[in-house]
Amino acid sequence: MIATDEQTPLSNTSCDQAVAPIGVFDSGVGGLTVVAALQRMLPHERILYIGDTARVPYGGKSAETVTRYSREISDFLIAERAKLIVVACNTASALAVPTLAPSSSVPLLGVLQPGAVAAVKSTINKRIGVIGTKATIGSSAYEKAIRSLDSDVTVSSVACPLLVPLIEEGLFDDEVTGIVLRRYLEPMLAQGIDTLVLGCTHYPLLKRAIQNICGPGVTLVNSAENCALAVKDLLASQTEVDSINHNDHRLDIVLTDSSEGFLRVAVKSLNLTIDTLAFRQIGK
Amino acid sequence: MIATDEQTPLSNTSCDQAVAPIGVFDSGVGGLTVVAALQRMLPHERILYIGDTARVPYGGKSAETVTRYSREISDFLIAERAKLIVVACNTASALAVPTLAPSSSVPLLGVLQPGAVAAVKSTINKRIGVIGTKATIGSSAYEKAIRSLDSDVTVSSVACPLLVPLIEEGLFDDEVTGIVLRRYLEPMLAQGIDTLVLGCTHYPLLKRAIQNICGPGVTLVNSAENCALAVKDLLASQTEVDSINHNDHRLDIVLTDSSEGFLRVAVKSLNLTIDTLAFRQIGK
Query: How many other C-beta atoms lie within 10 A of the C-beta of residue B270?
Result: 17
Q: Are A233 and A107 in contact (CB under 8 A)?
A: no
Q: Are B175 and B66 in contact (CB under 8 A)?
A: no
Would the pLDDT of A16 be above 60? Answer: no
Q: Are A146 and A185 in contact (CB under 8 A)?
A: no
Residue A132's pLDDT band (cuts 50, 70, 90): very high
CATH number of B21-110+226-279: 3.40.50.1860
Complex prediction ipTM:
0.88
User: Minimal Cα–Cα distance from A283 to chain B, Å?
Assistant: 7
Contacts of B284 in chain A (CB under 8 A): 283-284
Catalytic residue among A160, A200, A214, A227: A200
Q: Which residues pair with A155 in a beta bridge?
A: A128
Half-sphere exposure of A67 (CA within 13 A, CB side): 13
Residue B81 CB burial class (10 angstroms; 0-12, 13-18, ≥19): middle
Domain A10-110+226-279 and domain A113-223 have a common topology: yes
Q: What is the CA radius of gyration of chain A?
A: 18
DSSP class of B20: P
Alpha-carbon gap, residue A198 to A188, rounded angstroms: 13
Residue A20 φ then ψ, to 5°: -75, 135
Residues B128-152: tens digit of each pLDDT:
999 999 999 999 999 999 999 999 9
Would the pLDDT of A149 be above 50? Answer: yes
Would the pLDDT of A51 be above 90? Answer: yes
∠B171-B200-B186 over CA atoms, to 5°? 70
Query: How many other C-beta atoms lie within 10 A of the C-beta of residue B8?
Result: 11
Contacts of B64 in chain A (CB under 8 A): 257-258
Instruction: Mark residue B260 as left, alpha or beta (left: phi above 0; alpha: psi -120 to 50; beta: remaining).
Output: alpha
Residues A217-270: tens digit of each pLDDT:
999 999 889 999 999 999 988 765 554 556 678 999 999 998 877 888 889 889
Which of A4, A29, A162, A167 should we substitute to test contact with B (largest number of B Cβ atoms within 10 Å)?
Answer: A162
Residues A76-94: tens digit of each pLDDT:
999 999 999 999 999 999 9
Residue A113's pLDDT band (cuts 50, 70, 90): very high
Question: Mean pLDDT over all residues of chain A?
Answer: 90
Between B52 and A261, residue with greater pLDDT: B52
Q: Report H helices in B49-174.
A: 63-79, 90-95, 97-100, 112-122, 134-139, 141-149, 163-168
Distances (CA, A) of A273 to A247, A263, B67, B128, B130: 16, 12, 32, 42, 37
Alpha-carbon gap, residue A116 to A243, rounded angstroms: 25
Q: CATH topology for B113-223? A: Rossmann fold (3.40.50)
3-class state of residue A87 by DSSP: strand
Average pLDDT (B73-99) is 97
Average pLDDT (B206-220) is 97
Residue B47's pLDDT band (cuts 50, 70, 90): very high
| pTM: predicted TM-score of the whole model, two decimal places | 0.90
Q: Are B8 and B278 in contact (CB under 8 A)?
A: yes
Residues A182-207: tens digit of each pLDDT:
999 999 999 999 999 999 999 999 99
Q: CATH topology for A10-110+226-279? A: Rossmann fold (3.40.50)
Nearest to B176 by CA among A134, A177, A185, A209: A177
Enumerate chain B positions whose Cβ falls within 8 A of a Cβ in A. 53-56, 60-62, 64-65, 134-135, 161-162, 165-166, 168-169, 175-176, 179-180, 256-259, 261, 283-284
Q: Which of A60, A135, A176 sits opposite B179 (nearest CB)?
A: A176
Alpha-carbon gap, residue B284 to A282, rounded angstroms: 10
Nearest to A87 by CA among A96, A78, A99: A96
Q: Are A222 and A195 in contact (CB under 8 A)?
A: no
| Residue type, position B85, single letter | I
Alpha-carbon gap, residue B236 to A184, rounded angstroms: 51
Question: Mean pLDDT over all residues of chain B?
Answer: 90
Would the pLDDT of B217 be above 90? Answer: yes
Q: A89 catalytic, yes or no? A: yes
Domain ranges in chain A are 10-110+226-279, 113-223
Question: Which residues of B are the active-site residues?
Answer: 89, 200
